[in-house]
Chain A
Amino acid sequence: MSTEVKEYALPPEVLEETVKASEELWKPIKKVKFRIYKYNPKRDYAPHWEEYELEVSKGMTILDALLEIKGEKDHTLGMRYSCRMGLCGSCAMMINGKQMLACQTRVIEAAGDGDVIELRPLENFPVTRDLATDFSAFFEKHKTVKPWIIRDEEELDNPTGPYKQTIEEYARYYQFTDCIKCGACLSACPTAATDYEYLGPQALAQAYRYLVDSRDDGLDERIAVVDVAHGCWRCHFAGSCSDVCPRGVDPAQGIQLLKGLIIRRKFGFRPHKPTEALPAKIAKKKEQ
């Protein structure tokens, strides 16, 4: 066996092109002013605005800009981020008045023709400090809808077969599984603006996601949680949640389908198609 290692190198013209494109992406092209909301509830009487000017490039995201400001201009700036790639859901904030992920939004695109960017913490979330908000109530709401597959204990411990799903059964809930719990939807919801206890688009969409999962047995349990005063009937279909969702979850659709499901159930119709593919449920049916 030969130990020769083959070297892989880009052809020079491709390499040159790549370097050029990268330089193009990171070359400063514009001065942008960042107006940032500064507030520490433990110390300040009221929030104030702070302005910072930065040279920005085409590839720079709002998060890049914030990290530069934090590193070089104002070490006290408070914010939350983690993955920098739109997956962890930590960095949602109000960018020029609309909820977006800081790591997925380019400064140039957010600024448009202007050269001012206004950053605020997510509305409808308590402020911890500056751009960082408190998510404990939000996560609590998510937990109340029981976001897990509910099954018979007996069946879970002694499974009688695999949980098969057809592509149609999978398609009923796949869209909602992409949620990263970024809170943008709850922040955009006008109902949440005056109702702190409203379960919110994220939790309600997740309730629907588990309700229509053919492996799930928790229909009654979960409907008892969402069919309440601060539950799904508080949604009046303003659609802002879906408008701002960075993952295409479309929670507004989930909530309307959820309401339809609950109404059908109330009038004695089948809420959704029965699940033929599951061994345990088939076994139960045969017994009867």
Chain B
Amino acid sequence: MEEAREEFVEYYAKNMGGVLGWFKARVYTIERWLYGAHRITGILIVLFMLPHFYSTGWHPGLWGDFILGIIVTFHIANGIRLILAELGFAVGKPLLVKKPSQRPVSLEGSQRYLVALALLLFIVLAVIWAYYALIVQAAT
């Protein structure tokens, strides 16, 4: 009983967000949603690759293929955005003058165009993939 109590207290006293903390995006900006989505898609691709490596002939099925397409195309499109942003492109320059309640340049400056472009690229790639997965594949 005493041990259980200690574990309990440790959990609450540490006050860490935990894995659920990755996805607490509601009150933050779109970049936080993309962070959660990028992580989930990355992990799902790894999970898909396990049976795929075991037997390369394995296939997730017609709709499985479609869903895999959404996951992979999102990861690629957003991954390109992340590579650029994390090399310091499009995050803007540090400010010399701030407004009284300055909003961050890295989020609300040109990086937002990068977000829009990444989402656009995602939709284009996903539609192309879906076309092949659902129509071309199904016909053969």
Q: Which residues of A contact B (CB under 8 A)?
A: 39, 41, 44-47, 96-98, 121-127, 133, 167, 170-176, 178, 188, 190, 192-194, 196, 235-240, 242-245, 248, 250, 252-254, 256-257, 259-261, 263
- Assess whether B13 is interfacial by the CB under 8 Å rule: yes
The 7 tightest CB contacts between A and B, nearest first, are A193-B21, A260-B88, A193-B17, A248-B102, A253-B106, A242-B104, A238-B35
Contact B28 A238 (CB under 8 A): yes
Contact B96 A239 (CB under 8 A): no
In the bound assembly, the distance between CA atoms of A288 and B48 in angstroms comes to 58
Distance in Å from the Cβ of A185 to the closest Cβ of chain B? 11
Query: What is the chain B residue whose CB lies nearest that of A97?
Result: B27
Query: What is the chain A residue whose CB lies nearest that of B81?
Result: A237
Q: Which residues of B contact A (CB under 8 A)?
A: 5, 8-9, 12-24, 26-29, 31-32, 34-36, 38-39, 82, 85-89, 91-96, 98-99, 101-107
Contact A174 B95 (CB under 8 A): yes
Distance in Å from the Cβ of A111 to the closest Cβ of chain B? 15
Contact A190 B12 (CB under 8 A): no
Q: A121-B15, A133-B15, A260-B87 are in contact. List 12 more A-B contacts (CB 8 A).
A: A39-B12, A41-B12, A96-B27, A126-B13, A126-B14, A192-B17, A193-B17, A239-B107, A243-B29, A250-B95, A257-B88, A261-B88
Distance in Å from the Cβ of A110 to the closest Cβ of chain B? 12
Contact B29 A239 (CB under 8 A): yes
Residues of the A chain whose Cβ atoms lie less than 8 Å from the Cβ of B16: 123-124, 193-194, 196
Given the known A-B contacts A41-B13, A237-B82, are A242 and B94 also in contact in the complex, defined by CB atoms under 8 Å? no
In the bound assembly, the distance between CA atoms of A96 and B27 in angstroms comes to 9
Residues of the A chain whose Cβ atoms lie less than 8 Å from the Cβ of B91: 252-253, 256-257
In the bound assembly, the distance between CA atoms of A190 and B40 in angstroms comes to 13
Given the known A-B contacts A252-B107, A256-B88, are A175 and B27 also in contact in the complex, defined by CB atoms under 8 Å? no
Contact B86 A243 (CB under 8 A): no
Distance in Å from the Cβ of A264 to the closest Cβ of chain B? 9
In the bound assembly, the distance between CA atoms of A178 and B102 in angstroms comes to 12
In the bound assembly, the distance between CA atoms of A248 and B105 in angstroms comes to 9
With contacts defined as CB atoms under 8 Å apart, how many contacts are there between chain A and chain B in the complex? 157
Residues of the B chain whose Cβ atoms lie less than 8 Å from the Cβ of A260: 86-89
Given the known A-B contacts A174-B94, A238-B35, A250-B106, are A47 and B12 also in contact in the complex, defined by CB atoms under 8 Å? yes
Contact B15 A125 (CB under 8 A): yes
Contact A253 B86 (CB under 8 A): no
Contact A238 B96 (CB under 8 A): no
Contact B9 A45 (CB under 8 A): yes
What would be 29 A-B contacts, judged by CB atoms less than 8 Å apart? A39-B12, A96-B27, A121-B15, A126-B13, A173-B94, A174-B95, A174-B96, A175-B95, A188-B28, A190-B22, A190-B23, A190-B24, A193-B21, A236-B86, A237-B35, A237-B82, A237-B85, A242-B104, A243-B28, A243-B104, A248-B95, A248-B99, A250-B105, A252-B91, A253-B105, A257-B91, A257-B94, A260-B88, A261-B88
Contact of A45 among B8, B14, B23 (CB under 8 A): B8
Residues of the A chain whose Cβ atoms lie less than 8 Å from the Cβ of B12: 39, 41, 46-47, 127
In the bound assembly, the distance between CA atoms of A175 and B102 in angstroms comes to 11
